[in-house]
Structure 1
Amino acid sequence: MNSIAGIKALCGRNNGAVCTSSNAPAVLKWAFERAQRVLFLPDQHLGRNTALKLGIPLDEMVVWNPFKRLGGNTPEQLRHAKMVLWQGHCSVHTRFTPGQVQSARDRYPDINVVVHPECPMETLEVADMNGSTEFIRKTINEAPAGSQWAVGTEISLVNRLALQNPDKTIFCLDPVSCPCSTMYRIHPAYLLWVLEGLAAGEVNNQITVPEQMRQEANVALERMLALR
């Protein structure tokens, strides 16, 4: 879902759909009802972790390096693969490591570790639980007072959860985590600027894409929405 219009259009014109971290399992199930092989992009970790949840083994997954012939794979590997994972990742979530999980456990023996599925597989394996942004938010908000949480996701969400739950210990797994620069392009000040412009009859920072791209991207989006 958090991808450029061109990627969504690619999915739309190739019988694909877009997904979020919340509905990735449902979308992947939908895809395998229609094909024996799925190209998952742009985040290889979300694709790998979602496929593992659905019971697809690692030996039926390959990573596609766009700078190499056949993605760096042999024809036989591609024929055998059910999941072709684009060699992409989230720059924030790949920072979370098993070592950080162990450090949190050393400091807080009763800690609960929850991470986002865009983290590497090795980090999910040692965490207590993993799930989408909404899953993390709901889990911590509903946790009992006094509970302790180490969270592997974007620092702004972790900080908000800590402010909203002063009766719990909540901190980011990565002690030097930086905000997501892409997410920060959508900032309250920018939103206010756009809204004030609309109120004044002006359109600030208008974004347009070619009509065919818009139509194809919309197809991929509608396929996802139809799975509700």
Structure 2
Amino acid sequence: MTENFAEMMEEIKKMKKERNAVIVAHNYQLDEVQELADVVGDSFRLSQYCASTDADVVVFCGVHFMAESAKILSPEKTVLLPEIDAGCPMADMVTPEALIEEKKKYPNATVVCYINTSAAVKAECDVCCTSSNAVNVIRSIPNDEILFVPDKNLGSYVAKQVPDKKIHLWDGYCITHHRVSASDVQKAKGIHPDALVLAHPECRQEVLELADFVGSTAQIIEYAKKSSHDKFLIATEMGILHQLRKDNPDKTFYLLTQGLVCPNMKKTTVESVYNALKHGRYEIKLDEDIIRRARRSLDAMLRVR
């Protein structure tokens, strides 16, 4: 650790106290950013935390839609996204205008959006979900017809778990998870035949069918911790390996394929966090009407147990 880096870390601690700030980080962030954070988790855990913290400032080490969700749940707080161009290609695959048109095709459907959507899209939806609670959210809806946006892979996974619902899928996907193929799984299993495959439901169905366990980042972390097995192939973004190895020093984890990297999640650095606190970069601001309408979909999700 360089002297400048150590000084930066000390200054971050000092500014956090002065500004009554918290730093939250998604599991896919760089290792050193995860270590810096007060709370590390998946979208669901971070959504809950941001809604409950009494901090005045939230520094969100993640991507744009996540920081927007924090702002929707806590409009009185200052929410900072250290790298303003850290976006999400899947979230960009659905716009409010396109969704409004699609809703006309299914006027009786309950509209469910994955949390990987913009605030403006959430404002057009009935209820939000994350990969942790998508199945429970869909099951909780009295209506049998669902329009699910934007992740067709997560939507397909949920449809298999809840066959009594008619689920219309948007044609969106995570470019990182979607590129993993069944042949990637077979190749990795050939190299590590005694390893269990743990996969995220943003992967394609052909991958999930070959997995030993399917779950969100938090669920994968929990499964690995409780499992008596000691070798795992991980089919989700590589950032999760940091927590997995921290929690399980006696177990071995392999990334299923080297393609499992989200460039947007890797944009945030310790220096980004320092600059966010020092200069107020980059504050998330949303229209009050968008906050009000998007809040309904997030609150509906948070009520589901």
Query: After TM superposition, what 4+ stretches of structure 1 lie above 6 angstroms from structure 2?
Result: none
Q: Number of residues paired by the alignment?
A: 191
Partners of 1:43 and 1:118 lie apart in 2 by 7
Partners of 2:200 and 2:172 lie apart in 1 by 16
Q: How far has the Cα of 1:164 moved from its partner?
A: 4.5
Equivalent in 290, 293, 299 of residue 213 of structure 1: 290
User: Does the CA-based 8 Å contact 1:159-1:171 persist in structure 2?
Assistant: no
User: Does the CA-based 8 Å contact 2:177-2:260 persist in structure 1?
Assistant: no
Q: Determine if the alignment matches structure 1 residue 189 to structure 2 residue 271.
A: yes
Q: How far has the Cα of 1:161 moved from its partner?
A: 2.0
Map Cα deviations across residues 99-132 of structure 1 (whole Å, 9 max, x no partner). Answer: 1221122112211011001111111111111111
Aligned-partner SS, 1:118: coil
Partners of 2:121 and 2:273 lie apart in 1 by 25
> Mean Cα displacement is larger for which, 19-28 or 105-114?
105-114
Partner of 2:193: 109
Map Cα deviations across residues 17-51 of structure 1 (whole Å, 9 max, x no partner). Answer: 111001101111123x1x23111111111011011
Partners of 1:134 and 1:167 lie apart in 2 by 19
- Read off the aligned partner of 1:50 and give its amino acid letter: V
Scaled by the length of structure 2, the TM-score of the pair is 0.58
Map Cα deviations across residues 160-185 of structure 1 (whole Å, 9 max, x no partner). Answer: 423543322211111x2252133335
User: Does the CA-based 8 Å contact 1:104-1:111 persist in structure 2?
Assistant: no
Equivalent in 107, 120, 137 of residue 221 of structure 2: 137
Equivalent in 164, 174, 177 of residue 90 of structure 1: 174
Partners of 2:264 and 2:123 lie apart in 1 by 20
Percent identity (aligned): 34
Q: How far has the Cα of 1:186 moved from its partner?
A: 4.9
Aligned-partner SS, 2:220: helix
Scaled by the length of structure 1, the TM-score of the pair is 0.76
Partners of 1:142 and 1:96 lie apart in 2 by 26
Q: How far has the Cα of 1:189 moved from its partner?
A: 3.5
- Read off the aligned partner of 1:101 and give its amino acid letter: V
Higher strand share: 2
Partner of 1:73: none
Unaligned runs of 5+ in 1: 61-81, 198-202
Aligned-partner SS, 2:128: coil
Superposed CA RMSD? 2.0
Partner of 2:204: 120
Unaligned runs of 5+ in 2: 1-114
Partners of 1:8 and 1:181 lie apart in 2 by 24
